[in-house]
Structure 1
Amino acid sequence: MRHESRRTERRAALVPEDARRLIASGVHLTVEESPQRVFPVHAYADAGCAITQPGSWASHCPATDIVLGLKELPDEPADLMHRHIFFGHAYKGQPEAPRLLRRFEAGGGTLLDLEQLVDAEGHRIAAFGYWAGYTGAALAVLQHRGELTAPLAFSSREELRRRLGPGRRRGGGVTAVVIGADGRSGRGACDALRTAGIEPTRWGPDHTQDLDRDALLAHDILVNTIGSDRPVPPFLTKADLDNERRRLSVIADVTCDVGSELNTLPVYDHITDWNNPVERLREGPRPLDIIAIDNLPSLVPAEASRAFSADLWPLLLSLREGSEVWDRCRAAFRHAVASLGGRG
């Protein structure tokens, strides 16, 4: 399990107690030291893991090893020869996708993308969705109240709960809509809003298929937790933001598909981050802000990691024997590489 090169990435794909379970099942697990990971390296050593220096996977791991992470790889090595497990964000036409896939193609490696860990019906079976929705909605509420400060510096769900309520509830009169309310991310978003004293309007597939943009614009807060695997009419356009009847003042786009033709909210052109969490889309007497952070669950790293690790570690065991879940990951990777052609 590699160190995460992004300084604000504090999560772990495996927590120490699940690392112990893998080792008890005969897996040899090496963990790189990491100054920002929420779990100290000695907890992994106590679980039986070998410990090594950050970034050592690139020069010291045999080509047969599997390298586990969460977010983007460093720029070096240019050619990737290992099997890597992480969120590659490479299959929806994102601008950086061709370059990443070319690196695997050049080195003969494989991307087993965590986004593709799905069952036969296409439902995710290991995801950070709940905590992405929860933190995205929480940040939107704090921004609407004028209480969100940068850089972001939360450490746990309990800290977020204290900031949202119950003693500080000020939800009266504030309205919020959650798109994709029945999914993992949507449930997290609804829970955060209720903690803040706001009963959310819940939208599902029926609402997006016959979308009422005026109804979206009539809310104070919009939390989008649903992505698309095919191009669909956007939920909002830049022209919609100039609607004179717009009440909407804060958007939290949990999906962060910016730059992709599958982006359902093409009203902004770059993600935000912990140092600059909010982008102002409209100035004036009716300002409009967007929050589009692509590692939201790292704001509650321990809780998010434990939930994800509990889903992931049994799947990692199945890598030895092979499984349909990982076969689907490999097939998605091969299709993406074959689709590159002369691009990028």
Structure 2
Amino acid sequence: MTKVHIWLRAETKPLEERIALTPSVAEQLLQAGFKITVEESTLSAIPAQAYKEIGCDIKPAHSWQSAPSDTIILGLKELSEASWPLTHRHIHFAHVYKEQQGWQEVLRRFKSGDGTLYDLEYLVDDKQRRVAAFGYWAGFAGAAVALKAFGRRQQVDGPVLPKLTSMPSKQALVDDVTSAISQLSQAPKVLVIGAKGRSGRGAVEMAKCVGADVTEWDIAETQIGGPFEDILDFDVLVNCVFVQQALPPFITLPMLNVNDIDPRRLAIICDVSCDPYGTYNPLPIYSSCTTFDEPCLRIVDGENPVDLIAIDHLPSLLPVESSEDFCQQLLPHLLQLDDLTQGVWQRANHIFADKLGQV
């Protein structure tokens, strides 16, 4: 029996160098009998030639729209904004199920084209645990850029953080952050919220790698509900909480602006969870994400400012390592794409159908 056809589309999100299918995983799928088409991409950290050498078909970027209707379109980030109907089966992070801005318009495209979305964020096992995630790398990169920003703010005039570019390796990123904080008189005090999750573990590891003084909070420390005045006593906050329901805020803008009686220490916030457009955001102190081009947003001015980092594709800082890790996690389930009525694919389809019914 002929296996399904997987079409790896080129990403459209600026500076998104990660990829949803690495050559090592693609090769295993080819050996299992799948047909794989890969679009050329000027963004991807892995060139199309690497896929051609293992036997994948190569097509121009963004040509998936003309693929046969039974093709499965695989990507990472959401599709570019448009209004034409979506007719294929799509696998990617759509960012619509928490009723984010524009969610209904996206789902209407699937509804009008009779297409299907298998959202990567909602591929879960029978215990509702995600089967593949970039979480560790998001936390690792988030703590890295937060600490680099803190170090630079103490020593450098000008932007808190310059334009970010991807790093060749995990060790190169550690070395870069170590250099940025090496002249500080004392180790930065870092608070990681959600420290026991994937993102939290990555953030804690990065902070410890560069010698920061790390405090770890998780459910036990936050279950009473915020706001939490203690957060103001840290230099850096890294929020890694995976939010699935509305929570009381961890901090608020009025808290950050009160600075005359007991001076606030908190200077840098990195919201790794990064969901300013939904109603579940436990850091309701900003309304839009930051970017690799402009990583920091000043949310409190004055002599004791607060800078925020809220980049929704932090693992792109380490695109090759994070992509390889993610794809290896996803591989067992990609091998089951012949039968979308079972396992993670069936559960993802049920969620899609439920959300589609709300449009």
Correspondence for 1:240: 255
The Cα of 1:142 is off from its aligned counterpart by: 0.7
Aligned to 1:18: 25
5 Å-filtered alignment, 1:79-158, equals: 79-146=85-152, 149-156=161-168, 157-158=170-171
Residues 168 and 219 of structure 1: is their aligned pair in 2 closer, same or farther, counting only changes over 3 Å?
Answer: closer
**Alpha carbons 1:14, 1:313 under 8 Å: kept:** no
Offset at residue 7 of structure 1 (A): 2.8
- The residue number in structure 2 matching 1:207 is 221
Contact 1:141 1:196 in 2 (8 A): no
1:130-209 paired onto structure 2 within 5 Å = 130-146=136-152, 149-156=161-168, 157-165=170-178, 169=182, 172-209=186-223
Aligned 8 A contact 1:252 1:290 in 2: yes
Q: Helix, strand or coil for the counterpart of 1:273?
A: coil
Is 1:220 aligned to residue 235 of structure 2? Answer: yes
* AA aligned opposite 2:19: A
- Show structure 1 runs of 5+ residues with no match: none
Mapped contact 2:125–2:344 kept (Cα < 8 A)? yes
Q: Runs ≥4 in structure 1, deviation > 3 angstroms?
A: 166-171
How far apart in 2 are the matches of 1:164 and 1:219?
18
Q: 1:149 to 1:241 in 2, by over 3 A?
A: closer
**Counterpart Cα distance in 2 of 1:120 and 1:90:** 22
Deviation at 1:128, TM superposition (A): 0.4
Gaps of at least 5 residues in structure 2 are: 1-7
CA 1:141–1:123 in 2, change beyond 3 Å: closer, same or farther?
same
Provide closer, same or farther for how the CA distance between residues 77 and 313 of structure 1 changes in structure 2, counting only shifts above 3 A: farther
Asked if the contact 1:17–1:47 (Cα under 8 Å) also holds between the matched residues in 2, the reply is no
SS at match of 1:239: helix
Deviation at 1:6, TM superposition (A): 1.7
Identity %: 40
Partner of 2:296: 278
Secondary structure, counterpart of 1:70 in structure 2: coil
Paired AA for residue 23 in structure 2: P
- The reply to whether residue 329 of structure 1 matches residue 343 of structure 2 is no
Separation in 2, partners of 1:84, 1:306:
20
SS in 1 for 2:237: strand
Contact 1:119 1:325 in 2 (8 A): yes
Q: Distance in 2 between matches of 1:79 and 1:130?
A: 35
Report Cα offsets for 1:15-60 as digits up to 9, x if no partner.
101100000001000000001211111110111111101011012x
RMSD: 1.6
What is the CA distance between 1:324 and its match in structure 2?
2.1
SS of aligned partner of 1:159: helix
For residues 232 and 254 of structure 2, the distance between their equivalents in structure 1, rounded to whole angstroms, comes to: 12
Q: Give CA deviations for 1:149-177 in whole Å, capped at 9, x if unaligned.
A: 32211323232111122796457242010
- The code of the aligned residue for 1:103 comes to R
Deviates more, 1:234-243 or 1:33-42: 234-243
Q: Decide which of 270, 287, 296 is 2:314's aligned counterpart.
A: 296
Give 1:161's aligned amino acid: V
In structure 2, C-alpha distance between the alignment counterparts of 1:120 and 1:237, rounded to whole Å: 36
Partner residue, 1:30 = 37
- TM-score scaled by length of structure 1: 0.95
Q: Matched residue of 1:112: which SS?
A: strand
